[in-house]
Amino acid sequence: MEMKKLIAQRIRELRKQSGLSQQQVADALGVDRSAYTYFENGATDIKLDRLMRLSGIFSVSVDQMLPKECFAAGPAEPLAENSVVHEKGLLTQKIDETSLLLLYRRLPPEHQLQVLAALQQIFPQE
């Protein structure tokens, strides 16, 4: 089965386990129900930022959303936020990096600034 279909199948499983309707998930993502249906059917590629938002909606980590085949690709390479999960271009972002980014984005802006200031103290620019 192609990667896009495996990811779509997993998204559908998680939605059903969460007891949510397609409409509820679509509303939480800010898309039409028909657009969300394409994600569940594997008819369209899923961008990384949407995959991350879905993980929050389903209260799972991004790695729990992906089939095990996604992790057989070798060493991780950083992905841009607008990266897309394709059949041959497997998602390879490290799980701890994804978790850190998700937590950071949940912080209010003033706390985000505090985190950045603390990191800049640890890693001063040369």
Q: Is the dihedral of CA 35, 41, 44, 46 positive or negative?
A: positive
Evaluate if residue 61 carries a pLDDT over 70: yes
Dist CA 77 CA 116 (whole Å): 23
Evaluate if residue 1 carries a pLDDT over 70: no
Dist CA 123 CA 6 (whole Å): 40
- Domains in the chain: ranges and CATH: 3-93 (1.10.260.40)
Evaluate if residue 98 carries a pLDDT over 80: no
Question: What residues are paired with 46 via a beta bridge?
Answer: 85
Residue 92 confidence class, pLDDT cut points 50, 70, 90: very low
Q: Please tell me the pTM assigned to this model.
A: 0.55
Per the rule left: phi > 0, alpha: psi between -120 and 50, beta: everything else, 115 is: alpha
Nearest one of 3, 96, 102 to 58, comparing CA atoms: 102
Dist CA 90 CA 78 (whole Å): 12
Q: What is the dihedral of CA 61, 86, 104, 36, to 10 degrees?
A: -70
